[in-house]
Structure 1
Amino acid sequence: MLKAALGCVNGSSLFAVVLATSGGRCYEDRRRRKRRRYCGVDGFGEQLAMPGFLRAVLSTVVLVTTGFAPRAAFAITTDDLYQSRTIVTGQGEVNRRIGFRACLDRVLVRVSGDQRLLEKPEMAALRDKAGDFVHTFRYHDRLEGIPIHDEQGTHDRPHDLTCLYKAATVDKLLAQLGSKPWLGERPTLAVFLTAEQGARHFALSAEEERGKTMRESFANATDPLLMHVVFPKAAQLAELGEKGLRTDDMARLDLLAKQAGGAQALAGSIKWSDKELGWIADWRLADHGKTYRWQVRGVSFDEAFRVAIGGAAQILSGNGQP
């Protein structure tokens, strides 16, 4: 179950099959590509209303991610880096080809950190022969252990499709697209976030119960890009105050990030908008003396956090403004 929960989600209709077996629901943000002000990958996952057992699994992920002894950076192995995962229906060739295309998108962004690659016109031709670039692949039945329902065969059960690639193959593709691998350690980001919904507002801390769902969502957003996040303690946030979180320069927040166990700070705010029918999220991150800012509007907070991590990866990998 943990392996299933960690999977990159692509396509709400497929994941709904899994959630339906446990009483969950699946939502689709149909306006996401239209409304976002971000040149990024679309579809690292779908917004979930999670059943209790899945939240328990993801709580474990958060504990692993934030940890009791956080690390400022994590080394990335070649095996971890040069692979990607998506969800397909069954193990037939038609859906496998669809999965290969999705996995190609994901591994290129995972290795490079560059969200803009997916918008390049050259990607159309590469996607058409996506299977040629896969070294090996494997399936995992997401309903493993659950009996086959009436009139349901193994051909229509949702599966995780994991594609493994040779580093030389992916690196060559990146070079063709004018990009390169983002190798070495990936820094742990300390998230300084304020949230506001009507009269309710708070700063996201490591231990506060009302921020649990958001911490889980952030943990989910980091996995496709092999990133890690930690959260400051409530006492540290109290010293800053909400105004400080919103207005302090990134140099000070980067110093505080080290106290929280991170390498540098990712600062942001999310505010619910009835007009936008979603959250408005603003993000800040400093790199080599420059502070980058980016925004997304009218989305779930799951998507807002994916945009945050995707933007941070783009900056830290040397690919510039999100």
Structure 2
Amino acid sequence: MRLSVRLMIFCLSFLSLSALAAPVAGLYQVREPVADEQPESRDAAMQKALQTLVLRLTGDARALQNPALEGLRKDPQQIVSQYGVEDNALVVEFDPASTDRQLRQAGLALWGANRPAILTWWLSESPEGSQLIGESQNASASLRDAARHRGLPLRLPLADLSEQALASADVLLANDPQALREVSERYGADALLAVRANESGGKWQAIWRVWLGDEREQGKAEGADLDALADALMLAVAERLAPRFVVKPGAAQSLTLVIEGADLERFAALERLLEPFAARLQEIDGQRLVYQVSASPEQLRAQLALAQLQEVSEPLDAAESVDNPEGTAGEAPQVKPRTDQLRFRW
């Protein structure tokens, strides 16, 4: 049974759900500017690359200052697979296994590679006018580079005439994002990021809001140019989202996860989604899947919400009956739901 499931997953690995966490490509590759190829410049860029990576994986700007990482700060190359200079940037490939092991041993909570796909509605305002940045416009490169640098899966709208007309500041930053949700449906993203950026006096500033399900985060960012603004803003978004998904050492417990309503396409999707939790498929019964996972219930709920899975109540026959010796004769026994099982459905 296990072998046949793995074979189906392999055959369907190219498929994806329209709204599902997106695996971040190149999560452990970091590019940082380098002034020249002198050892001092390269070492400074290597330190910056390490800081960028740890921020990507933890969402915590102070994580690298953990006393347990003193040796790593002194010698980042112990977790480096390879590096080189390319287009005035130091490109560093960090080893995923060595990196994760060192960070976990330091007691840090990590965010896995499967992250919410973020549809970004970015309205740029300048003295020349306003423009919604779409996927085919030159300015989109700044947004993509910034999202990649901060470890976020970015999607951009087409920014066609109908979307340009809709994307006013009032719509993007409305307290009720219903209008934005409706126009975003065709893109199948997990989160919506709305940005109003403006250039004034040679500097860029922005107000942003991000919706993940019914929850909202918001903030402000600034930068000397569009590249710097985009990087600062994506960093702020990553730091706000990370706490919802990081796997904290010691907080995980063994849980039974029951998924109802699965089909062939969803096998591959679930495998990717459950990677951070050491998931083991225990049983298949029609469209019902049973996994054994190592996770905290809260973090597992946040991850499964990316696939639009709905939590359901545990059926009574799966609960434990608890005797009530003090109860009257014929009284129904108390029902105590299992605390080590979570059930979800599409």
TM-score range, shorter chain: 0.5 to 0.7
Post-superposition offset of 1:87: 4.4
Post-superposition offset of 1:84: 2.5
Structure 1 residues 204-224: Cα deviation after superposition (integer angstroms, max 9, x where no partner): 3456xxxx2321211111222
Structure 1 residues 3-57: Cα deviation after superposition (integer angstroms, max 9, x where no partner): xxxxxxxxxxxxxxxxxxxxxxxxxxxxxxxxxxxxxxxxxxxxxxxxxxxxxxx
Contact between 1:285 and 1:292, CA under 8 Å: does it hold in 2? yes
Paired position in structure 1 for 2:130: 201
Equivalents in 2 of 1:70, 1:97: separation in Å? 42
Equivalents in 2 of 1:288, 1:237: separation in Å? 24
TM-align CA RMSD = 3.6
From 230, 236, 254, the counterpart of 2:156? 230
Equivalents in 2 of 1:203, 1:245: separation in Å? 11
Contact between 2:134 and 2:156, CA under 8 Å: does it hold in 1? no
Kindly provide the amino acid, as one letter, of the partner of residue 286 in structure 1. Answer: W
Equivalents in 1 of 2:176, 2:135: separation in Å? 22
Instruction: Looking at secondary structure, tell me which structure has more strand per residue.
Output: 2
From 108, 130, 135, the counterpart of 1:179? 108
Instruction: Looking at secondary structure, tell me which structure has more helix per residue.
Output: 1
**Higher mean C-alpha deviation, range 306-315 or range 240-249:** 240-249
Q: What's the TM-score once normalised by structure 2's chain length?
A: 0.54
Kindly provide the amino acid, as one letter, of the partner of residue 230 in structure 1. Answer: L
Contact between 2:203 and 2:223, CA under 8 Å: does it hold in 1? yes
Change (3 A) 1:271 1:226: closer
Structure with greater contact order relative to length (CA < 8 Å, sep ≥ 6): 1
Paired position in structure 2 for 1:216: 141
Paired position in structure 1 for 2:90: 160
Paired position in structure 2 for 1:103: 49
Equivalents in 2 of 1:84, 1:250: separation in Å? 34
Equivalents in 2 of 1:81, 1:194: separation in Å? 27
Equivalents in 2 of 1:74, 1:297: separation in Å? 28
Structure 1 residues 264-297: Cα deviation after superposition (integer angstroms, max 9, x where no partner): 21001012223xx412201101235331111123
Paired position in structure 2 for 1:266: 193
SS at match of 1:181: coil
Contact between 2:20 and 2:117, CA under 8 Å: does it hold in 1? yes
Contact between 1:272 and 1:279, CA under 8 Å: does it hold in 2? yes
Q: How does 1:1-322 map to 2 (within 5 A)?
A: 72-73=19-20, 75-76=22-23, 80-88=26-34, 93-112=39-58, 114-117=59-62, 120=65, 122=67, 125=70, 128-131=73-76, 133-142=78-87, 158=88, 160-173=90-103, 176=106, 179-198=108-127, 200-206=129-135, 212-224=137-149, 225-234=151-160, 235-239=162-166, 241-247=168-174, 249-250=176-177, 252-274=179-201, 277-287=202-212, 289-297=214-222, 299-318=224-243
Kindly provide the amino acid, as one letter, of the partner of residue 192 in structure 2. Answer: A
Kindly provide the amino acid, as one letter, of the partner of residue 201 in structure 1. Answer: S
Equivalents in 2 of 1:219, 1:251: separation in Å? 26
Give the 4+ runs in structure 1 shifted more than 4 A: 69-75, 87-96, 118-124, 239-242
Count of matched residue pairs: 228
**Higher mean C-alpha deviation, range 305-314 or range 117-126:** 117-126
Contact between 2:72 and 2:78, CA under 8 Å: does it hold in 1? no
Post-superposition offset of 1:159: 6.0
Kindly provide the amino acid, as one letter, of the partner of residue 313 in structure 1. Answer: A
Larger Rg: 2
Equivalents in 2 of 1:89, 1:242: separation in Å? 39
Q: Kindly, what percent of the aligned residue pairs are identical?
A: 17
Contact between 1:188 and 1:230, CA under 8 Å: does it hold in 2? no
Post-superposition offset of 1:128: 4.2
Structure 1 residues 122-156: Cα deviation after superposition (integer angstroms, max 9, x where no partner): 599456413353242232454xxxxxxxxxxxxxx
Equivalents in 1 of 2:27, 2:135: separation in Å? 28
> Where in structure 1 are there 5+ consecutive unaligned residues?
1-68, 143-157
Contact between 1:100 and 1:130, CA under 8 Å: does it hold in 2? no
Contact between 1:232 and 1:257, CA under 8 Å: does it hold in 2? no
Structure 1 residues 278-321: Cα deviation after superposition (integer angstroms, max 9, x where no partner): 1220110123533111112353121221122222222332269x
Change (3 A) 1:202 1:303: same
